[in-house]
């Protein structure tokens, strides 16, 4: 674990609280933008008939169609329909998402995308965190095909870590929804040495527990944080911060983890469900 450099702190964005206004706010949709060093998350609530036009991107991006939403996605003269929950891998270049049925979407771009400037925390990345591994070059080697993965076709498998997908530069883990609170005897505190993680919650209440390890410099020490979050939300966890998340209260809970670049450890374990597309 890195201790020589002062760790960047976590950041919490509870999108429905009124504290963070959507960057896009028109009659038919609202979109909140939150970024990490290497990627941008866009949480959108949109009405049927809305068209979300996306500026040309130099690499692939993702559209996560949440339960209840239905969309048509157009890119590179290709079109595909998706009914949530579904994951769409969108090739480089301009794209368009048309809402066939009202609902929520999460779009994930690399930070090379022009949308990075819209992020509520764009100012944080005016300087670069040296602990974060850079994105690979945007080669365009793989990103030419529009692909849809209905999550109904991807059941949970014992021993496999969630439902993990990648692009040329991004990775998401979209596990199945969970009912009721998390067992407090099964928490998983851990830290990442060289990449940020975004935790997007789309249903339910959560508590993020975060510890910044002690260094030789006492001025770097911070109290543990136990932050309760109501969905929808985005939490950014920089390298070195020990963290675990706990879903609390009754009812359904759903979260999605985002990383960039694609994690080699998940690939080596054989957990990445579309890895063959990148070999």
Distance CA 176, CA 184 (A): 19
Residue 26 CB contacts under 8 Å (≥ 6 apart), including other chains: none
* Inside any domain, residue 59: yes
Phi, then psi, of 38 in degrees rounded to 5: -105, -10
Question: Residue 267 belongs to what H/E stretch?
Answer: helix 264-268
For residue 37, is it within any domain?
A: yes
Is 82 inside a domain boundary? Answer: yes
Structure tokens at 255: 């979260």
101-137 pLDDT tens trace: 999 999 999 999 999 999 999 999 999 999 999 999 8
How many structural domains comprise the chain?
1
CATH of the domain at 181: 2.60.120.10
The reply to whether 3 falls in a domain is no
Confidence of residue 3 (pLDDT cuts 50, 70, 90): very low
- Do the domain assignments include residue 135? yes
Give pTM, 2 decimals: 0.94
**How far apart (Å, rounded) are the C-alpha atoms in residues 178 and 253?**
5
Answer yes or no: are the C-beta atoms of 65 and 88 closer than 8 Å: yes
**44 and 107 Cβ atoms separated by less than 8 Å:** yes
Residue 76, burial from CB neighbour count under 10 angstroms (0-12, 13-18, 19+): middle
> Which pLDDT tens digit goes with each residue over 161-216?
899 999 999 999 999 999 999 999 999 999 999 999 999 999 999 999 999 999 88
> Token pair for residue 79?
């079109």
> Has residue 91 been placed in a domain?
yes
279 lies in a domain?
Answer: no
How many whole angstroms separate alpha carbon 120 and alpha carbon 126?
A: 13
Domain range for 249 is 11-274
């Amino acid at each position: 674990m890195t201790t020589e450099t002062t760790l960047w702190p976590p950041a919490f964005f509870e999108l429905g609280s009124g504290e963070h206004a959507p960057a896009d706010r028109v009659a038919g949709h609202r979109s909140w933008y939150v970024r990490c060093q290497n990627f941008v998350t866009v949480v959108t609530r949109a009405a049927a008939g809305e068209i979300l036009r996306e500026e040309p991107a130099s690499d692939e991006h993702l559209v996560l169609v949440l339960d209840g939403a239905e969309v048509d996605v157009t890119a590179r003269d290709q079109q595909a329909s998706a009914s949530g929950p579904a994951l769409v891998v969108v090739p480089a270049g301009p794209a368009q998402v048309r809402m066939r049925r009202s609902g929520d979407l999460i779009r994930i771009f690399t930070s090379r995308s022009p949308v990075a400037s819209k992020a509520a925390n764009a100012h944080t990345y005016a300087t670069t965190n040296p602990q974060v591994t850079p994105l690979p070059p945007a080669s365009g080697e793989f990103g030419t095909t529009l692909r849809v993965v209905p999550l109904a076709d991807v059941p949970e498998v014992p021993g496999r870590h969630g439902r993990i997908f990648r692009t040329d530069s991004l990775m998401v883990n979209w596990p199945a929804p969970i009912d009721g609170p998390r067992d407090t005897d099964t928490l998983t505190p851990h830290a990442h040495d060289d990449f940020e993680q975004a935790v997007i919650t789309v249903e339910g209440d959560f508590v993020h527990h975060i510890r910044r390890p002690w260094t030789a410099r006492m001025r770097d020490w911070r109290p543990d944080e136990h932050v309760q979050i109501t969905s929808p939300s985005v939490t950014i966890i920089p390298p070195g911060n020990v963290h675990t998340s706990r879903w609390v209260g009754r009812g359904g809970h759903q979260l999605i983890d985002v990383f960039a670049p694609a994690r080699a450890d998940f690939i080596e374990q054989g957990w990445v469900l579309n890895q063959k597309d990148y070999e």
